[in-house]
């Protein structure tokens, strides 16, 4: 739904992230998006693994070999439809949804949590979802 912009998602809208559990306990991650400047779909396939216990949503994610980045779920609704995800620093933040919309109450709550955590939410890019791959 929203993100702080960074080079790997620059110029992308209609972004999605799919997660699936692999047999070895790692998580397969497929990120897709439509590049509005190049007018084409792009995707990156990576892997994630839990930093500690599997019941704590603290992961590290890699799309480039041995290099991993932090991926921490800092808020999630009771039905697991919406999540607020923080990266390794206040330069990385995502608001995720299983749908192409998010209820205003959850959006406001997540923005408040992010601000209290040190994020500049006015810099969030609200992603368009108007195409299908």
Residue-level pLDDT at 82 = 97
Residue-level pLDDT at 80 = 93
Alpha helices in the chain (DSSP H): 104-116
Residue-level pLDDT at 79 = 94
Structure tokens at 15: 């972004």
> Going residue by residue through the chain (133 aa), what tens digit of pLDDT does each one get?
999 988 889 999 999 999 999 998 889 999 999 999 999 999 999 999 989 888 888 899 999 878 889 899 999 999 999 999 999 889 999 999 999 999 999 999 999 999 999 999 999 999 999 987 7
Residue-level pLDDT at 32 = 95
Residue-level pLDDT at 8 = 86
Residue-level pLDDT at 46 = 94
Closest CA to 69 of 91, 54, 100: 91
């Amino acid at each position: 739904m929203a993100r702080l912009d960074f080079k790997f998602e620059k110029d992308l809208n209609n972004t999605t992230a799919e997660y699936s559990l692999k047999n070895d306990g790692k998580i397969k991650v497929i990120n897709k998006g439509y590049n509005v400047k190049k007018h084409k779909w792009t995707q990156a396939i990576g892997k994630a693994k839990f930093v500690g216990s599997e019941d704590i949503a603290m992961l590290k994610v890699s799309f480039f070999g041995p290099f991993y980045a932090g991926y921490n779920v800092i808020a999630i609704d009771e039905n697991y439809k919406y999540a607020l995800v923080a990266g390794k620093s206040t330069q990385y933040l995502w608001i995720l949804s299983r749908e192409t919309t998010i209820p205003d109450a959850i959006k406001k709550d997540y923005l408040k949590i992010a601000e209290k955590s040190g994020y500049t939410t006015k810099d969030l890019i609200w992603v368009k979802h108007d195409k299908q791959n």
